[in-house]
Amino acid sequence: MSAESISEVMRDPVRPAAASLSEEKRTITVAVAGNPNSGKSTLINAIAGTRLHVGNWPGVTVEKKEALFEYEVKLIKLVDLPGTYSLSPYTQEEIITRDYLVHEMPDVIIDVMDATNLERNLYLTVQLLELDIPVIMALNMYDEAEKKGYTIDSNMMEEMLGVKIVPTIATRKAGLHDLLKAVVKLVDDPSSHHPKKLNYGEDIESAVSAVEKQLKDSYPSLAEKYPLRWLAFKFMEEDEHVQSELKISGDVLLIEDAVRHLKKAHEEDMESIMADARYAQAAGLTREVLKRPELRKTDLTEKIDRIALNRFLGIPLFLAAMWFMFKLTFDVSKPLGDWMNALTFGPFKRWAEALVGLIHAPAWMSSLVTDGVIAGVGSVLVFVPVIFAMMFFITFLEGSGYMARAAFVMDRAMHSIGLHGKSFIPMLLGFGCNVPAIYATRTLENQRDKALTALLIPLMSCGARLPVYVVFIGAFFPAYAGTVLWSLYVMGIALAIVMGLIFKRTLFKGEAPMFIMELPPYRLPSFKSLMIHTWEKGKHFLIKAGTYILAVSILVWFLLNLPWGVESKKDSYLGQVGQVVAPVLKPLGFGSWEAASSLMAGVIAKEIVVGTMGEIYVKKTGEEQSAVKPAFTADLIEIGTSFTTALRNSAENVFSTFGISSLSTKEDEKRSGLKSVLRTTFTPLSAYAFIVFVLLYMPCVVVAIAMRQEFGTWKWFGISFAYQMALAWLMAFVIYQGGTLLGIGG
Amino acid sequence: MGFSDIVWMGLIIAGTLYLLYRSVWKKKGHCAGCDSQSCVLKKYKM
Ligand SMILES: Nc1nc2c(ncn2[C@@H]2O[C@H](COP(=O)(O)OP(=O)(O)OP(=O)(O)O)[C@@H](O)[C@H]2O)c(=O)[nH]1
Ligand SMILES: [Mg+2]
């Protein structure tokens, strides 16, 4: 079969379930299971039009997700499960997937196979078949298997396993109709399904039948709840989860008997005996159905990896790639950010003022709108282009396959802190947002690794901190923007390793076991999927701006204006609290109440540091009335023309990053008000100390909640808060005082 | 400042506090990428 012959390509996602569908119609529940990185989430996105997170490394999906849609007047619920290599209960993903399959008993399992790794994938298939739930196999990544010159005899495989096999290419939506048709057929006519019972060898089979019989006789009710053969295997393997869940481990004479005999014959523990038997099945099947080309050429992935994974070049290359990414992020977004700035504090502000005037709102309310909401939320919103640019590069990195390589090259450094390279993936995800990164620690083997990684994640600079950096970098280091930005991210990683060393000696004694990281082939993400997932990530910041950043901006405005009629902002409630805290920050070079108050408000989310500064430094409405008030249409024209200029500049900047033309960083001095105020209150040195402080000073409230949710206690947040405050103060102190002593940037 | 101003301010502050509570605590900060249990599942229902 060739890729072209994979029936028709599915052009549009199937129709979302319509409300008109009668309620009583039964929903078909289809679990989508398979090895990590085999394309399960991509498949569901292609079928149901969802936007589940996909990425080219194993362990993207860490909890089950559902998508409901209508297909041929049937309601189908697809359940995306975390990828697993087996159904033994060791990692959290395995437990989530297994519990779902065993307890919820979906109508069908779609087993998504990576056709380029047949044997490893079949090992899981063999276990899925033990569950007695109808299985349909999607032979995914069929394009890549063909490219490698593999031929897979899927007819023979169908015959040997007795299950339907459909070749698919999830990224191109090929084969999906066939897959859904097979699902519907199976549900409509269960008798069409004749799975073969795999034979694990005489001794195992006779032992398992004995155990099965024993279970059936002693606990007849179990058969209704669990697949008995599977249960018998689990008892034989002494699976602790099953034992503790069913609490019948005391009654195991016969099981022990059967197992003792087997163990003696094989001279191994039961789990290994079973694993061997399953591997034998997977290997046997693969031998029968897979033909590989005699001559194997080295492919592009191997060529790239020879350099990217080189012992000496690996880490420098990683750092260089990061530098490049930050430089591009900054350069590309700069003109668009300036445009947004001009737009927000020019026309938008004017329109808002006009609108408030129109409804005859009291003076305080119009000040709340302009000096509170627009100054606060607006100051954050102008960083939307930077954040989207950053999320674009992160999405690209995620899709390319480099994430797993970064984990690989960092493996040695991570071992020095008692973790292994795998922990570096959640940390890298933290560059986007620390919250999903905390949840991504689920892919780690044990509680110790999880907790230690979660403690280090807040040191990874997230997108929310970018606005703070960009304002200060724009004001003080425009010529070295990319490098300064990069230094902050690298500092975060370096400090994570230092803190890891300290934690390893104190809270988390112990070594990480060796681990093998699967390295997927490099892939070029499609433009469409890049856009979708960049949007999904960036959207988060827009929602934040419209909800809690807005809320804090309003509260900050009140705190700056209470007690009512206060003359100077310094005497307001916020100013007073800021003055109490400021002396603590004095040795760090930014002991003003303005800085202190902004840092305190930033506890909710770090963008708010910028928003609050915007509100503090905004000139009172009326102070800066422009002489002429351009009309609405003139504004619109101005917005349009300035936008095209901004677009052109940012495109030019892409080339300049590659050294083809010169960087365009022209900006309108008048418009970047906040930056010019900052230049009068900070020095380059204290500015750098300040952004380092913002990088480190504490995880945001949402991360705290995520930590609490993931670990069930506030303990880790408490530790994180305490050490980060100390670290932030110390680092800013060293930078400011050290720099002053050396006479740099004072 | 009149009585109605105070009522308005009270309402705005209460609304803001509620918004803060809802988005930060209940919606767990609308976590990015929707990769946690705290997020609503994507349902294609219309
Ligand atoms: N060439 C090719 N690439 C694919 C295909 N299906 C998925 N991919 C790519 O494979 C990678 C993994 O896809 P995911 O959907 O995240 O895999 P998953 O099985 O959900 O992975 P986990 O959530 O980690 O278990 C992505 O980079 C996809 O673009 C396919 O049929 N052909
Ligand atoms: Mg997935």
Mean pLDDT of A53-79: 87
CA pair distance A679, A476, nearest whole angstrom: 7
Name the strands in the sheet holding A27-34, side by side, starting at the edge strand that comes first in the sequence: A65-71, A74-80, A27-34, A108-114, A135-140, A164-167
Position A25 scores a pLDDT of: 62
What backbone torsions phi and psi does residue A733 show, to the nearest 5 degrees? -60, -50
What confidence tens digit (pLDDT) does each residue in A534-588 have? 998 888 888 888 888 999 999 999 998 888 878 888 889 999 999 999 999 999 9
Mean pLDDT of A719-738: 94
Position A658 scores a pLDDT of: 63
Beta strands in A223-273 (DSSP E): none
CA pair distance B26, B17, nearest whole angstrom: 13
Position A239 scores a pLDDT of: 79
**Token pair belonging to A726:** 């100390």
Task: Quote the minimal CA–CA distance from B13 to chain A in Å.
Answer: 7
Which residue in chain B has the smallest CA separation from A557? Answer: B13
**Token pair belonging to A516:** 């093998």
> Which range (A205-209, A499-503, A711-715, B9-13) has the least confidence?
A205-209
* Nearest-CB residue to A63 (from B5, B17, B37): B37
Q: Which range scores top for mean pLDDT: A87-91, A378-382, A491-495?
A: A491-495
Helix, coil or strand: residue A310: coil
Indicate if the alpha-carbon torsion angle A527, A532, A535, A537 is positive or negative.
negative
Is 80 exceeded by the pLDDT of residue A257? no
Which residue in chain B has the smallest CA separation from A45? Answer: B42
**Token pair belonging to A59:** 């362990």
Indicate if the alpha-carbon torsion angle A448, A451, A455, A457 is positive or negative.
positive
Mean pLDDT of B3-10: 87
Is 90 exceeded by the pLDDT of residue A122? yes
What is the CB < 6 Å shell around ligand 1? A 34, 36-42, 54-56, 58-61, 82-83, 140-141, 143-144, 169-171, 399, 523
Task: Choose, out of B8, B44, B45, B46, the residue to mutate when testing the contact with A (most A CBs < 10 Å).
Answer: B44
Mean pLDDT of A675-679: 86
Is 50 exceeded by the pLDDT of residue A671? no
Task: Among the bound ligands, name the one nearest to the CA of residue A3.
Answer: 1
Beta strands in A182-297 (DSSP E): 290-291
pLDDT band for A12, please (50, 70, 90 cuts): very low
* Nearest-CB residue to B32 (from A16, A368, A432): A432
Position A253 scores a pLDDT of: 61
CA pair distance B15, B12, nearest whole angstrom: 5
Whether A18 and B46 have beta carbons less than 8 Å apart is answered as yes
Hey, whose CA ends up nearest to atom 11 of ligand 1? A56
Task: Choose, out of A702, A707, A710, the residue to mutate when testing the contact with B (most B CBs < 10 Å).
Answer: A702
Position A303 scores a pLDDT of: 87
Q: Report how far apart, in Å, the C-alpha atoms of B20 and of each of A574, A699, A702, A710 are.
A: 18, 17, 11, 22
CA pair distance A111, B23, nearest whole angstrom: 37
More confident residue, A734 or A195: A734
Whether A3 and A77 have beta carbons less than 8 Å apart is answered as no
CA pair distance A404, A422, nearest whole angstrom: 8
More confident residue, A614 or A14: A614
- Please state, rounded to an integer, the average pLDDT across all residues of chain A: 85
Position A64 scores a pLDDT of: 85
Pocket test for ligand 1, best of A32, A35, A37, A403 (most atoms within 8 A of CB): A37
Q: How many CB atoms lie within 10 A of CB A167?
A: 27
What confidence tens digit (pLDDT) does each residue in A354-383 have? 888 888 888 888 888 888 888 889 888 888
Is 50 exceeded by the pLDDT of residue A669? no
Position A396 scores a pLDDT of: 93
Q: Which range scores top for mean pLDDT: A211-220, A591-600, B33-42?
A: A591-600
Helix, coil or strand: residue A291: strand
Establish if B14 touches chain A: CB-CB under 8 angstroms: no
Q: For residue A423, how far is its CA from the centre of ligand 2 (angstroms)?
A: 18
* Amino acid code (one letter) for A353: E
Angle at A195 between CA A28 and CA A34, to 5 degrees: 60
Flag if B20 and A435 touch (Cβ within 8 Å): no
More confident residue, A267 or A591: A591
Position A426 scores a pLDDT of: 92
Helix, coil or strand: residue B20: helix
Position A571 scores a pLDDT of: 87
A580 burial via Cβ count (<10 Å: 0-12, 13-18, 19+): exposed
Percent of chain A with pLDDT over 90: 36
Is 90 exceeded by the pLDDT of residue A695? yes
Percent of chain A with pLDDT over 70: 91
Position A271 scores a pLDDT of: 83
Position A38 scores a pLDDT of: 95
Flag if B17 and A537 touch (Cβ within 8 Å): no
Number of the ligand 1 atom closest to the C-alpha atom of A42: 15
CA pair distance A131, A99, nearest whole angstrom: 12
Taking a contact as any Cβ pair under 8 Å apart, which residues of chain B between 16 and 45 contact chain A?
Answer: 16-17, 19-20, 22-25, 27-38, 41-45
**Token pair belonging to A514:** 């060796």
> Which range (A161-165, A441-445, A680-684) has the least confidence?
A441-445
The reply to whether CATH 1.20.140.150 applies to domain A202-291 is no
Position A657 scores a pLDDT of: 65
Q: How many domains does chain B have?
A: 1
Q: Which protein residues have their CB within 5 A of the ion that is ligand 2?
A: A 40-41, 60-61
CA pair distance A559, B13, nearest whole angstrom: 11
Q: Are A3-192 and A202-291 in the same CATH fold?
A: no
Is 60 exceeded by the pLDDT of residue A112? yes
Which structural domain range is residue B29 located in?
1-46
Angle at A523 between CA A522 and CA A529, to 5 degrees: 150
Position A745 scores a pLDDT of: 66
Q: Which long-range contacts (CB under 8 A, 24 or more apart) does A283-288 make?
A: A283/A119, A285/A118, A285/A122, A285/A157, A285/A160, A285/A161, A286/A118, A286/A119, A286/A122, A288/A153, A288/A156, A288/A157, A288/A160
Flag if B33 and A604 touch (Cβ within 8 Å): no
Domain A3-192 in this protein, CATH class: alpha beta
Which residue in chain A has the smallest CA separation from B34? Answer: A436
What are the sequence ranges of the domains in chain A?
3-192, 202-291, 316-742
